[in-house]
Amino acid sequence: MSNLPNCPQCNSAYTYEDGDFLICPECAYEWTMHQVAENDDLIVKDANGNLLADGNSVSVIKDLKVKGSSTPLKQGTKVKNIRLVAGDHNIDCKIDGFGSMKLKSEFVKKLS
């Protein structure tokens, strides 16, 4: 059984997938899952449940292993000018000594 969403046009439950498209057989409406996802605002929260936004500064709340580096990212490291992205590691940032990397929002807290 499929978990496809109902048709946004006529609310039919008989939608089916064709490649990247979802198609409604009843009203012939076509759309993509991607379209729907893009309209959602990213909601990213730090370890304390505070909402994060692009450009915020955060600090790391625990030592984190970094892929490809023998030095861990130390607890208390400040990260400036974060960028929110979709996915498991939802913060894109640049850290001195590490360069560009991605962090999980649950391991940082927002700095005011």
Least distance (Å) from Zn ion to the CB of residue 32? Answer: 15
Residue type, 84: L
Please list, residue by residue across 27-54, b when 16 or more beta carbons sit within 10 angstroms of its beta carbon and e when fewer do.
eeeebeeeeeeeeeeeebebbeeeebee
Whole-number Å distance between alpha carbons of 15 and 33: 12
For Zn ion, give the closer residue by CB, 11 or 71: 11
For Zn ion, give the closer residue by CB, 5 or 55: 5
Residue type, 7: C
Q: Mask 3-42, x = binds Zn ion (CB under 5 A)?
A: ----x-xx-x-----------x-xx-x-------------
For Zn ion, give the closer residue by CB, 9 or 75: 9
Count residues binding Zn ion (CB under 5 A).
8
